[in-house]
Structure 1
Amino acid sequence: MSATRVTIASRIFPPEPGAAAYRLGSLARRLARHGAEVEVLTTTPPRGVPEGWGADGIRLRRWPVLRDRGGNVRGYLQYASFDVPLLARLLLSRRPDVVVVEPPPTTGAVVRIVGALRRVPYAYYAGDISSTAAAGIGVPRPVVVALRALERWAMRGAAVVLTVSTGVADDVRQLVGAGHRVVVVGTGVDTDTFRPLPHDGSTPTFVYAGTMSELQGAEVFVRAFGQIAAERPDARLRMYGQGVQTGRLNQLADAVAPGQVSFPGRVPGEVIAAELSRASAGLASLRPGMGYDYAYPTKMFAVTACGTPVIYAGPGPGHELVRAHGLGWACTWSPDEVAEAMRAALRRTTSSEESDRLAAWTRASASQDSVADKAATAVLGAAAARGVNAPTGEDWTGSRPPRPSA
């Protein structure tokens, strides 16, 4: 019996940091662990990010692309620099049994075209709904309408659509209509990378790690820290990552807390894990009213996986999760409320027992392993539906740790 051949097509993949990269990396490893031949068609990492990533059974094929000033593949020209070569790469490569594609919808459209030409099924991994995000940040309506039509077309051709939450799944069903297979695989964090690391003691530091765009609304932390900086000259705020608002946040930080806020940019996950392990608290946010109130910011799980409490600012299930499981402080998207949570974090020392509890909860409830398991099952099921035998290995129906649900 030949192994199932799986191709993953994505503009972002490890070692480049990001929620999409982490979940696709975990999926690739999970598929390879079960005997699949995995080929990844992706991009060369941005400057400063090492290329060293791999695993047995996974072949990485990278392609140089245009990136914006922040190092992101975001924007029409940047997407085209990946999507146009991808068309040829998919057509000229060995025919896979199934393809996994990550947004944007333009990439999904390319995969649908190639899938039709080569008679290959594909799975669309919807970490979010691009047209909903575009509407939330104020993109002109004609652009949103066109994007929504393209996204609908890309998803309707998929053998299965994988989603990170029931909220995203509901949005997908509303977009594509009834009769399409949608599987909620959940969301989680790589607990092999994000884990408690040894340190000499906690520091009066707050750590934000992730995208800085309109949807996240990370400015709430900079404004809140402006209050803390005046009270605690020894306190520091570290903002890891990139995004369209990075420049604006730099200017704001210089105005409200000069010298106490740093923007190290993109760094490997291991560096962030070390910083989180000794921080007073990690930070996660979701700006209300942007069409994403149902989302889980994955960065909150990266914080708790390192045994550190999280300050969550915003609406949705993440807010309720922090309160229900004692993961830190949940507040509205308000600088005053966030500042009060920061003061509470600085007053409290996280014990080793509490750190262990937070890390254990994350491994049991929000580990990327369980997410990758469900995603791999769905992907191999799409291949099997076309007459391809799924590889054997562990029992795919075995028990799995619980996952958070919206």
Structure 2
Amino acid sequence: MSPLVRIATRTYPPDVGAAPFRLRALARALVARGCDVEVVTASATHAETPDAGVRTRRLPVLRDADGVVRGYLPYLSFDVPLAARLLTGRRPDVVVHEPPPTTGVVTRVTSRLRGVPYVSYLPDVWSQGAVAAGAPAPVLRAVAVAEQASLRGAARVLAVTQGMADEVVRGGVDASRVRVVGNGVDVDVFRPADGPVAPQGVRVVYSGTMSEWQRAEVFVRAFARFVADHPGATLTMVGGGVDVPRLRELARTVPGVELPGTVPPERAAELLAGADVALASLVPGSGYDLMSPTKIFAATACGTPVLFAGVGSGATLVREHDLGWAVDHDPAAVAAALGEVRTPSPAQRDRLRAWAVAHGSLAAAAQRAADAVTDLL
């Protein structure tokens, strides 16, 4: 009988986003290695396209107005019935869980009861993010305790950056259990345009989540300054998040700004490939400075330079590899950088694409994650 890997996650395709794409890539990599894969996840909002060898068991959950499982009550609506699912059915050989920390605690308890190892896939440090969000002290303590409990009990912790791995070790996790697996995008979907892009006004694209961690309003305010001197320029912001309603209200008075909401990955790739510059941001001190946003990989895979507003791993990545501009999270600084944007040359697009394939392939990251999981079998 093939070994069984069970993945516990509140989000999985057909959901759109970095987390569901990352976990689907891991599931596919494990199947390719001869594993049976079962994903215990939230009920789908629309029809899913199944992968061979991957079985999904879906639970009804509470979702917000955007259809996202986000917030402490929705998390618990998934985690409470998750415990029963992890305690029943065929005994897995290993369990992999994704945040939030409450899912990690449920995974730790149920894995201990069934005598199986588990893996914590860590794309960000939630306890730091809760501090930046201004959560009440009791919530901060609860999140920190839950996060440390789930990480310290894991047989493996998969960190997406070295900085995140270092932070986990400082928090008390045995360094021998931590693996840096990286992150990325599907470079077969995110790719340059098939032909030359027709010249027009400066095209600026933001693709991804718009939440308190990004504060993407910095781009709307900067674009308002920029478009005054560059009529015909456009800013397209695709994706979801808690800030979208506020950004739409802010954009009402700014010409050339469009926020169509969440779009399929193929459409996002098309927009990025036709852009002169792509945007990404992280608020300084948000607790997410250790992340390298997948927006950087998505843009460069399409051959488009990045304008990054903020600090941390993302800014370092853009500067060290000459991927575009890294500036302060400030409208004046962003507007000044937009003034330097020119249509990328074919040679520049080819260089950015080559870098993304080498450093930002989701398939390659999934193979490293699968190595860490199968080591436990």
Instruction: Give the equivalent residue in structure 2 for 1:215.
Output: 213
Say whether residues 1:88 and 2:84 are aligned partners: yes
Structure 1 equivalent of residue 151 of structure 2: 155
CA distance in 1, matches of 2:68, 2:338: 30
Q: Which residue of the partner structure matches residue 246 of structure 2?
A: 248
Does the alignment pair 1:357 with 2:351?
Answer: yes
Q: Which residue is 1:13 aligned to?
A: 12
Corresponding residue for residue 331 of structure 2: 335
Measure how far apart 1:82 and its partner are. Answer: 1.2
Report if aligned partners of 2:151, 2:173 keep a CA contact under 8 Å in 1: no
Query: Equivalent residue of 2:171, what SS?
Result: helix
Q: CA deviation at 1:271?
A: 0.8
Q: CA deviation at 1:180?
A: 6.2
Q: Secondary structure at the match of 2:375?
A: helix
- Identity, % of aligned positions: 51
Determine the structure 2 residue equivalent to 1:33.
Answer: 32
Alignment of 1:251-400 (within 5 A): 251-255=249-253, 257-258=254-255, 260-345=256-341, 348-382=342-376, 384=377
**Structure 2 counterpart of 1:56, one-letter code:** A
1:53 Cα deviation (Å)?
A: 2.9
Maintained 8 Å contact 2:125/2:287: no
Q: How many residues align?
A: 375
Q: Distance in 1 between matches of 2:168 and 2:258?
A: 38
| 1:232 aligned to which of 218, 225, 230 | 230
Structure-2 change in CA distance of 1:44 and 1:198 (3 Å) = farther
CA distance in 2, matches of 1:352, 1:4: 47
| CA offset digits 1:335-388 (Å, max 9, x no partner) | 11211222222xx22222221221111001111122111110111112x2xxxx
What's the offset of the Cα at 1:149?
0.6
1:321 offset after TM fit, Å? 2.2
- Aligned AA (1:206): V
Q: Secondary structure at the match of 2:68?
A: coil
2:49 is aligned to 53
Partner of 1:389: none
TM-score (norm 1): 0.88
- 1:103 corresponds to: 99
Counterpart in the other structure of 1:70:
66
Note the C-alpha offset of 1:278.
Answer: 0.4
For residues 47 and 237 of structure 2, the distance between their equivalents in structure 1, rounded to whole angstroms, comes to 23
Residue 37 of structure 1 aligns with an amino acid whose one-letter code is D
- Structure 1 residues not aligned, in runs of 5+: 385-406
For residues 351 and 145 of structure 2, what CA distance do their matches in structure 1 show? 45
Contact 2:236 2:257 in 1 (8 A): yes
Structure 2 counterpart of 1:118: 114
| 1:201 is the counterpart of 2:195 | no
Q: Offset at 1:247?
A: 1.7
Q: Cα RMSD (Å) of the superposition?
A: 1.7
Q: Secondary structure of 1:14's partner?
A: coil
CA distance in 2 between counterparts of 1:58 and 1:251 reads: 42
For residues 154 and 115 of structure 1, the distance between their equivalents in structure 2, rounded to whole angstroms, comes to 11
CA displacement 1:24-71 (0-9 Å, x = unmatched): 11111111111111111112344xxx5333322111222332111222
SS at 2:80's partner residue? helix
Which protein, 1 or 2, shows the higher relative CO under an 8 Å CA cutoff with sep ≥ 6?
1
Q: How far off its partner does 1:232 sit?
A: 3.0
Q: Deviations over 1:201-229 (max 9, x none)?
A: 25532111111112112111111111122
Change (3 A) 1:104 1:202: farther
Query: Which 10-residue stretch deviates more, 198-207 or 138-147?
Result: 198-207
* 2-structure distance, mates of 1:58, 1:23: 14
CA contact (8 A) 2:123 2:160 kept: yes
